[in-house]
Amino acid sequence: MISIAKQDSELLDLLTAMHPDSSKTTLRSWIQQKRVLVDGEVVIIAKQKVLQGQKVEVSKKTLLIEDDVEILFEDRFIAVINKPAGLLSVATAFDTYHTAHNMLKKRNPGKVIYPVHRLDRETSGVMVFAYSSAARDHFKKLFHAHDIERKYVAIVENIVKEPEGTWKSYLVEDPTYHVASRKTPEGEAKLAITHYKVLSQKKQTTLIELTLETGRKNQIRVHCQENGHPIIGDKKYEALTDPIQRLGLHALHLGFIHPFTKKMMRFTKTLPLSFQNFLK
């Protein structure tokens, strides 16, 4: 069933109007089962604000992972996608099927598709894949030379006092896949540099824009945590709050030179609905 919100209201109230014969316990269970979408995005917070004109839909089954990914751009050389939170970028030992890489392969049977970078499973936003080995090699060179534009937005705990700045440390991964920070280049620790800028503040949270100079695993999450501002929802790196019931990190912007046309290409994906509602 699909309904258009006639006025601003909480999601649970809107569902009650849509399904007057269903109990609130049942409606809450639909939300928890990830069956409810607002403007096409799964919402799992009963009190989330739905704005007038937004489309609310209740699916007949749990929407754990979409069967496809949103394509922002595609030609015979590359694909740029919007990866949803909760979806792996590429296969791991624990999940070889539910990945953005695999979904692109399903869209392009018989084509070899090359991942050229990754986003953490919990992170949403813009990613690029290569459709040829030549395109893959092109991106390898760009990433190695730091000639890729990468901007993220994060909602972090506490008030970031300085309006902008740079975080720099050396990161190393331990056997439990936890990334730790060092002040000096000890052992296999690699240099990581993150630039940040404060965009807005609300109560005890701050919305910041982050620009990567390097691209280490969990770099943004570790830098935020070690500077006293864990990303909301990031239990792995000591977050105490989870107000939107997902990691508050989104890959906002990706810019690069196309491997064959040599034109500069830039892609931006606006904040997910859960971010927008929290920041109001």
Active site residues: 120
β partners of residue 88: 99
Token pair recorded at residue 27:
């409606």
> For residue 156, with 0-12 CB atoms within 10 Å meaning exposed, 13-18 middle and 19 or more buried, which class applies?
buried
